[in-house]
Amino acid sequence: MKIPAIKKLVETQTIESLRHAEELLLDEQQPDFEVEGSDEGEQLTHVFGAIWILNHMHDHQTDFKTALREFTQKVRVSIS
C-alpha cells in the first residue's frame, strides 16, 4: 500500500469512478484511468483505500489528512 497512490486517486477521481475501477479490477480488467501498483492486488488496495477515505471525508465532514489517519489506523489494527 502506497499512500501517494491513494492520495492521487482521492484528488483525481470520484467515488463512482473508483467503484467502477474496483469492478473492473475484480474482473481482471484495467480501469479507464491509471491506478498505481505493482499488481492487481495492490491496485485494488489503493482503490479500496481511496473509496474509504472519500466516504469518510463526506460522512464526517473532515479533511483528507484526518481521513487518511483514520484509514491507516484501521489498516494497522487489521494486520496486527
For residues 53 and 63, is the Cβ–Cβ distance under 8 A? no
In tens, the pLDDT along 64-74 reads 999 999 999 99
Predicted model pTM: 0.92
61's CB contacts (< 8 A; 6+ apart) are: none
How much is the pLDDT for 78?
85
d(CA 39, CA 52): 20
Mind giving me the DSSP string for 24-45? HHHTT---SS----SSHHHHHH
The confidence band for 80, taking pLDDT boundaries of 50, 70 and 90, is: confident
In tens, the pLDDT along 4-57 reads 999 999 999 999 999 999 999 999 999 999 999 999 999 999 999 999 999 999
pLDDT above 90 (res 79) = no
